[in-house]
Structure 1
Amino acid sequence: MHQSIFQRRAILEGLRERARQATADFYQKPGVMPPPLAPLIVVKPSGNNTFALINRATGVVVAERFGHNNATSHARALEAKAKQFDVKQLGRALSIWALRIGAILTVFAFFGSHV
């Protein structure tokens, strides 16, 4: 590439980074609420009053529903269900805490044996 293109790209990347930093600083101010996160499930029409519910992160079709109202209500239900604390999250939290407590007890046992 030409040198001027490299310079222009470097300048634009610097401006993008400054914009990201300014946005982060703005939302750190008291009383400023960040915008809501993008929805987890996207409803897209697939024809003949049929709507596909697509997981935004993976692009996988989760379900199909007839009628826009049915599709959006099912998408809201799926998002609410995804936000709930499930058994996997509980198991992960318990295993992390068990590892932390085990590490602390190991440190105490190690220093207690040298006294």
Structure 2
Amino acid sequence: MHPSFTQRVTALEGLRARTRQATAEFYQKPGVMPPPLAPLIIVRSSGNNTFSLINRATGEVIAERFGHNNATSHARELEADIKRFNVKQFGRHLRDWALRISAILFLFAFFGSHA
């Protein structure tokens, strides 16, 4: 690669890194809300009034629906199902409650032995 191109690429990478850092610092300020996340499911036209629902992370087609309104409503339902309570969240809640209960039992045992 030509030296001038290399210098330009290096300069642009430095600017991109600084931009990412400044953006992260901006959203850490109190009262600043980050922009909403992009949708998890994309609705794309397949032709003949058929729409494909595509998982954005994997790129695989989840479902196909006839009509734009049917496709978008089904995509909203699928995103709501994904955001609902799942096994990972259940595990976190179970762990948190187990830690709370064990701390309370420890306090009772500690103060009960001194009484």
Classify the TM-score, shorter chain: 0.7 to 0.9
For 1:74, what is the secondary structure of its paired residue? helix
Once residues 86 and 32 of structure 2 are traced to their aligned partners in structure 1, the CA distance between those partners, rounded to angstroms, is 31
Measured against aligned partners, the alpha-carbon deviations of 1:57-109 in whole angstroms (never above 9, x if no partner) come to 000000001111110000000000001122355357768xx9xxxxxxxxxxx
The two structures have a TM-score, normalised by structure 2, of: 0.76
Matches within 5 A, 1:1-115: 1-87=1-87, 89-91=89-91
Q: Secondary structure at 1:34's aligned position in 2? A: coil
Distance 2:29 2:93 in 1: 31
Structure 2 unmatched runs, 5+? 99-115
Q: Which secondary structure does the structure 2 equivalent of 1:31 belong to? A: coil
Rounded to whole Å, the distance in 1 between the matches of 2:62 and 2:27 is 33
SS in 1 for 2:43: strand
Q: Secondary structure of the residue that 1:82 maps to in structure 2?
A: helix
Paired with 2:2 and 2:92, the residues of 1 have a C-alpha distance of 51
Identity of aligned residues (%): 76
Q: How many residues in Structure 1 have an aligned counterpart in Structure 2?
A: 98
**Change in 2 beyond 3 A, CA 1:93/1:3:** farther
- Residue type at the aligned position of 2:69: N
Q: Distance in 1 between matches of 2:91 and 2:28?
A: 33
Cα distance between partner residues in 1 of 2:29 and 2:92: 33
1:54 and 1:40 map into 2 onto residues whose CA distance is 9
